[in-house]
Structure 1
Amino acid sequence: MTAVAGWAHGIVVIAGAGLGGLALAHGLAAADIPVAVYERETTANARYQGHRISLSPAGLAALRSLLPDRLFDLVTATAAQPYQGSAVYDANLRPLKRRSLPDAGGSLSCCRHTLREILLHELADRVAFGHPVTGFRELNDGVAVDIAGDPGAVAAGLLVGADGVASAVRGQVLPDMRPAELRWAIYGRTALDRDIGRSIPDGVLAGFSRVLSPEGIGMSIGPFRKRRAFREAAADIAPGLTITELPDCLMWTLGGTIAQAPVGLEELRDADAGTLHRIAREQTASWHPVLHGIVGGADVSTLLAITVRAAPAIDGWSAPRVTMLGDAVHVMPPGRALGANTTFRDAALLTTTLQAVARGADDLVTAKAGYERRMLRYSAEAVATSVAMTAGRA
C-alpha cells in the first residue's frame, strides 16, 4: 500500500469491526489508503451479531460504492424474500389492522449476522480481534491510539470511532454526551420448522407483524425466507468465503418502555441467553399460544437484549485527528430502519473525503471537519425521525 499524502504515519485506524467500520475499511482499502481495524470481540463469531435489518436504496447505493462487486452481489443474493404485507394484532392474535406493502423499490432485508460475515471477507489481514481501542492521545501530526490498555500502541494519521453505542472514542471526545434510553428490547429467532410453521397464520408468515398487548408490551415479527441457500450463493459468487447457513425463520423483537422493563436495564443487557429466554416466555405467558410458542421455540443461542437509545444532537467536537461514524455518534431507535443505512452513508462519505485528501485535493483536518458537518446534519434528521416513530409505538 502506498503512503498517503496529507498526514503522517500513513494509516487510518478504525475502532470497531461492526458494519460501519468494516464497510469503511473496504472503501479505504479499495482506494489504496492504508487501514487497520481493532475490535474488542475476541473472534469474528464471539457472539451472535443480530437479526434482520432493512437496507434502503440510499443505504444500498452507499454500500455498493464501498464493496467489491462480488461481495455486494452476495449481499443481494442472501437477502430475504420481500414482505407481502403488514398487520397489527392484539395479544390474542385478533387482527387490528392490515395493509398491503407497496413495491419496496430496491430495498432489501438482510440478516445482520450474514452481512457482517460478508463484510469481514478479504479483510482478515486488516482486522485485529481481541484488541479494543481504549483511548488516544493526539500528536502534532497524528494520533497515538491506545490498544487494549497499551498506551500509544499504534500511531495513525486518523482515528475513526466506529465502536458502537459504548464507544471509547466518543467517551473521550464527548465525555458528557449521554444517549437517552427509550425502551428495552429482547431479540430472538425461531426456525420455521414443520411443527411451528403449521400453527402460524398465513398473514404472519407472509409479512411484517406487530403485536400489541393491553399492558403495552409489544412484539414485532418478521419472516426471513431465503432466496437461495447461503453456502450455495457464496460458492457461486465469492468462492472461499465461509458463510453460516440460516434456516427460514421468524425474527422477532419483544419490548416495552423503560418503566416496563422486567428487570434492571444493566441486568437485562448482561443476562445470558437462557435468562433472556425465560424472561421473554414470562412476558408472553398470557398471550395467544401461537405467539407464546414462537417465543418458546426460539433458538436460545440467538437471544440478545438491548436498550433502545437515541443520541442528542451535537455541533461537533475538538479533536482534529479523530472522527466517528454510526452508533458511536448517532445511535438511534430501529424505527424506520434508518440506523444501518445512515451508517453506510457515513462510511461512503468518509471514504470519498479521505480519497480527496489522498489525492492532495484537500488537507486532512479541513476535509474531516467538512465530513462531520454533513454527517451530523443528516444523522440528526434520521435520529429525530426514528425517535418520532418510536414515540408513536410507545
Structure 2
Amino acid sequence: MRVLVIGAGIGGLCLAQGLVRAGIDVRVFEGEAGVHSRYQGFRIGLGGPGLAALRECLPPRLHGLLEATTGELSGERRVVDEQLRVTGRLGPLNGGMATDRHVLRHLLLAGLADRVEFGKRFVSYEEAADGSVRAVFADGSAACGDLLVGADGVGSRVRRQLLPEAEIVTLGGNGLLGRTPLTERFAGLVPGFGTVVHGPQLRMLLGKMEFRRPPHLAAAELAPDVELPATGSYLRWGAFLPPHVEALPQDWTATRELLLGLMDGWHPDLVELVRQSDAVNSSPLTVRHAKPVPHWGTRRVTLLGDAVHVMPPSAGQGANTAFRDAALLCRSLTAAHHGEAELLAAVERYELEMLDYGFAAVAASLEQLPTFTPTGR
C-alpha cells in the first residue's frame, strides 16, 4: 500500500509518522518551499484524545523530547477587565500541555526526510480504473498511490475537488494574533490555564508558552539527529476587535498602533504586552469554520484536519482533532495493510467516525466563541 499525503502540516505529518511505524509506504507533498517558509509559531494546547493520538503516532524514542519541549497547561481560566480585576472564572482545566506549532512541526518531521517533498504545489487528482489515484503538481510532476489524503488545511485544494459544495464560513470582524517574549512581568498575566480580558472595546485571550527546556538544547541531548528551532518562551495573545474596525493596515507596526489606540487607559502590563510584541511572529487572525457535510461516499481520496472540519480556536480543539483523525486513519489503514479489512471499507469507517466527532468539535467551538469576542461581532 502507498499513501499520498497532501500537506506537511502537523496533522499530515502525524499521520505519516504513524504510517511509517506501521510499515506502510507514505509520501508527503507540501506546496511551501520549506519548513521555514511561513509563520507558524503560536501556542496550541494538547490534551485528552488529541494528545493520546499524537503519542500513538509518534515514535516512542521521541516521547521524551515531546515532553521536554512543551509547557504546563493547567489551572484556572480567569476572566478579567482591562485593569486586570477578576470578574469571573471559566473553571479549571488540567492534564494538558502547551506546545509551539512551529517546534512541533519540526519534531514531527524527524525521520521523514526521505518521505517529505517541499515545493510540490498540488493541483488536482485523477482516479484510475485500476483503483489507483494520481496526484498532479504545478511543476508538471505526478505521484501515484492507493489512497490520497488531503491534509492541506482550510484552503484545501483536495477538498475543493472532492467536495465542491462544502462551505467554509469566514466570520465577521477582525482579529490579531500576537506573540511577546515571556518575562516575569508578563508571566503574571496568566497564573493558570489562560486569561480572558473583557475590555470596553475589545477582548483578548492570553496564553503562556513556557518551555520546560529550550527546544534546540533538549533535542541536542535527547535526540541528536533531530533539529529543533531555538524558540524562546513567550506569551501568546489574541485580540478580537470591535465591529467598527473594518480594515487593518498591512504593516504590523501600524496595526499595533491601532490596537494600542483601542487600549487607551488599560492596565500598563497589558499595554506593554502589545507594545513589545514580536513583529515577525504576529499577524491578523481570520476566524473560519466549516459547515457540516454528509458522508460523500468513500473513494480513494479522503480528508483530515482543517481540510474537512476547520473550527474557531475558541475551544482549543483544532490540532487535537487533527491528531485524532491521524491516529484513527492510521489504525484503519493498518488493518487494511494486514489484510484485516478491505481498504475502502477501512477508509469508510474512518470517515464516518471522523465526521461525527469532527463536526461536534466545530459546534462546541462555535458555542464557546462569544466568550472571547466583542458584543455585536
Instruction: Say whether 1:244 aligns with 2:223.
Output: no
Is residue 134–residue 149 contact of structure 1 (8 Å, CA) maintained in 2? no
Instruction: Say whether 1:178 aligns with 2:167.
Output: yes
Q: Which runs of 5+ in 1 are unaligned?
A: 5-10
Match of 1:321 among 286, 289, 300: 300
Deviates more, 1:40-49 or 1:158-167: 40-49
Identify if the C-alpha distance between structure 1 residues 36 and 273 changes in structure 2 by more than 3 Å, giving closer, same or farther: farther
Normalised by the size of structure 2, how large is the TM-score?
0.91
Counterpart of 2:50, as a letter, is G
Aligned counterparts, 1:80-95, within 5 A: 80-95=71-86
CA apart distance, 1:306: 2.8
Identity %: 39
What whole-Å deviation, never above 9, does each CA across 1:367-394 have from its counterpart, x for those lacking one? 2112111110111111111110113443
CA apart distance, 1:64: 1.2
CA apart distance, 1:91: 2.1
Q: Which runs of 5+ in 2 are unaligned?
A: none
Residue in 1 aligned with 2:321?
342
Residue in 1 aligned with 2:200?
214
Match of 1:302 among 281, 302, 307: 281
Counterpart of 1:95, as a letter, is V
Instruction: Say whether 1:148 aligns with 2:148.
Output: no
CA apart distance, 1:205: 5.2
What whole-Å deviation, never above 9, does each CA across 1:101-141 have from its counterpart, x for those lacking one? 35x13x11111111111011111111111112121111121
Aligned pair count? 371
What whole-Å deviation, never above 9, does each CA across 1:281-312 have from its counterpart, x for those lacking one? 44434533321211110111101223111111
Task: Supply the distance in 2 between the matched residues of 1:14 and 1:227 (Cα, whole angstroms).
Answer: 32
Residue in 2 aligned with 1:64?
55
Deviates more, 1:306-315 or 1:324-333: 306-315
Task: Supply the distance in 2 between the matched residues of 1:285 and 1:15 (Cα, whole angstroms).
Answer: 45
CA apart distance, 1:212: 1.3
Instruction: Say whether 1:164 aligns with 2:184.
Output: no
CA apart distance, 1:186: 1.5
Is residue 120–residue 139 contact of structure 2 (8 Å, CA) maintained in 1? no
Counterpart of 1:147, as a letter, is F
Instruction: Say whether 1:289 aligns with 2:275.
Output: no
Q: Secondary structure at the match of 1:81?
A: strand
Task: Supply the distance in 1 between the matched residues of 2:36 and 2:84 (Cα, whole angstroms).
Answer: 36
Identify if the C-alpha distance between structure 1 residues 299 and 384 changes in structure 2 by more than 3 Å, giving closer, same or farther: same
Is residue 160–residue 323 contact of structure 1 (8 Å, CA) maintained in 2? yes
Counterpart of 1:387, as a letter, is L
Identify if the C-alpha distance between structure 1 residues 278 and 130 changes in structure 2 by more than 3 Å, giving closer, same or farther: farther
Deviates more, 1:70-79 or 1:183-192: 183-192
Deviates more, 1:225-234 or 1:297-306: 225-234
Task: Supply the distance in 2 between the matched residues of 1:61 and 1:322 (Cα, whole angstroms).
Answer: 26
Is residue 208–residue 221 contact of structure 1 (8 Å, CA) maintained in 2? yes
Q: Secondary structure at the match of 1:32?
A: coil
Aligned counterparts, 1:1-394, within 5 A: 4=1, 11-98=2-89, 101=92, 104-105=94-95, 107-140=96-129, 141-148=131-138, 150=140, 153-182=142-171, 184-193=174-183, 197-198=184-185, 200=186, 202-204=188-190, 207-215=193-201, 217-256=202-241, 259-263=243-247, 271=250, 273-274=252-253, 276-318=255-297, 320-394=299-373
CA apart distance, 1:234: 1.0
What whole-Å deviation, never above 9, does each CA across 1:219-256 have from its counterpart, x for those lacking one? 11122222122222112221121111222321111124
Counterpart of 1:131, as a letter, is K
Is residue 23–residue 119 contact of structure 1 (8 Å, CA) maintained in 2? yes
Residue in 2 aligned with 1:8?
none
Counterpart of 2:235, as a letter, is L
Q: Secondary structure at the match of 1:241?
A: coil
Counterpart of 2:100, as a letter, is C
Is residue 330–residue 379 contact of structure 1 (8 Å, CA) maintained in 2? yes
Counterpart of 1:228, as a letter, is R
Is residue 277–residue 303 contact of structure 1 (8 Å, CA) maintained in 2? no
Q: Secondary structure at the match of 1:204?
A: coil
Is residue 230–residue 245 contact of structure 1 (8 Å, CA) maintained in 2? yes
Q: Secondary structure at the match of 1:24?
A: helix
Aligned CA RMSD, in angstroms, stands at 2.2
Deviates more, 1:181-190 or 1:233-242: 181-190
Q: Secondary structure at the match of 1:301?
A: coil
Counterpart of 2:59, as a letter, is P
Counterpart of 1:244, as a letter, is P
Identify if the C-alpha distance between structure 1 residues 252 and 70 changes in structure 2 by more than 3 Å, giving closer, same or farther: same
Is residue 230–residue 246 contact of structure 1 (8 Å, CA) maintained in 2? yes
